[in-house]
Structure 1
């Protein structure tokens, strides 16, 4: 059985760290360029990328309604920040809430008609901005490879709250 200090392991650990750093820095660079663009404006009011992420997550739900913890599984926010954001988006008329009929304690959230329109408007512009950044840098085969690798990485992560191997 190989020890944790074998040269192969240390090289693999370094490669993993360098790969993560490259992925992270690329994501930061792309996101900073996306923030410079007009995509996150809707009806003259700015929509943050995290707010858009909540709207996008809700737009992908077949039933239209999600519980707060279900939204939280797909976004990079803690529960209390997400709760406050949902309140702000509801005040802006983009979301609506109702008490969960099956338990009376839970809250269900969905997009309003205005929220659906905002998500589509920002989403279309966002996709154009993404294409404007990625298409000059990567060809179709590289984009497919990037999608495949990042999907594989995400699928093989331990569940939230569980430690990695």
Structure 2
């Protein structure tokens, strides 16, 4: 049985959702960079490392955690390493694996970026919604994530 295509109203909602989230992402990442000099990718990696045990992760684990292809992560980590935000070391017991380590400079950059970033999230996302809409947005995000992951 062929699947039913979205109707006009459903397509309108889809376009509003996609265009709004893209505009929001663009504004948030632009402000993050302007306020802190970090890209959204930098912040994502630094956040993951800051939450990891001993502020380090295997590169394969980090790729899965941030949802990036390994080649994309590798290129991005190279840029971050040249800026002193992370360091790569050998993984104990695995000659092929690498550990990605948050440096002191990377930790300081992450801590300095956190408050300005959270202010922008509050200003552009949280404050734009009523408490009920914010709850609904969380439920929608969780339903989409579960659907996309096959749960």
TM-score, normalised with respect to structure 1: 0.75
Distance in 2, matches of 1:157 and 1:135, equals 24
Task: Quote the residue 2:47 is aligned against.
Answer: 56
Verify: 1:93 aligned to 2:84, yes or no.
Answer: yes
**Shift in Å, 1:108:** 0.7
| 2:124 aligned to which of 133, 156, 165 | 133
1:31-53 deviation line (CA, Å, top 9, x unaligned): 2222442x3344xxx21111211
Aligned in 2, Cα 1:18/1:74: closer, same or farther, shift over 3 Å? farther
Distance in 1, Cα, partners of 2:14 & 2:53: 33
Match of 2:108 in 1: 117
Question: In the TM superposition, what whole-angstrom CA distance separates every residue of 1:82-111 from its partner, at most 9, and x where no partner exists?
Answer: 212112211211111211112121001021
Q: Give SS of 1:58's match.
A: helix
Report the counterpart of residue 29 of structure 1 in structure 2. 23
SS in 2 for 1:105: strand
Q: CA 1:19/1:104 → structure 2, altered by over 3 Å: closer, same or farther? A: farther
Q: CA deviation at 1:77?
A: 4.1
Report the 3-state secondary structure (helix = DSSP H, G, I; strand = E; otherwise coil) of the residue aligned with 1:47. Answer: coil
1:67–1:108 Cα contact (<8 Å) kept: yes
Any unmatched runs of 5+ in structure 1? 160-165
Equivalent position of 1:105 in the other structure? 96
Could you say if the C-alpha distance between residues 69 and 24 of structure 1 is closer, same or farther in structure 2, counting changes exceeding 3 Å? Answer: farther
Between stretches 122-131 and 28-37, larger displacement belongs to 28-37
State the aligned residue count.
Answer: 149
TM-score (norm 2): 0.81
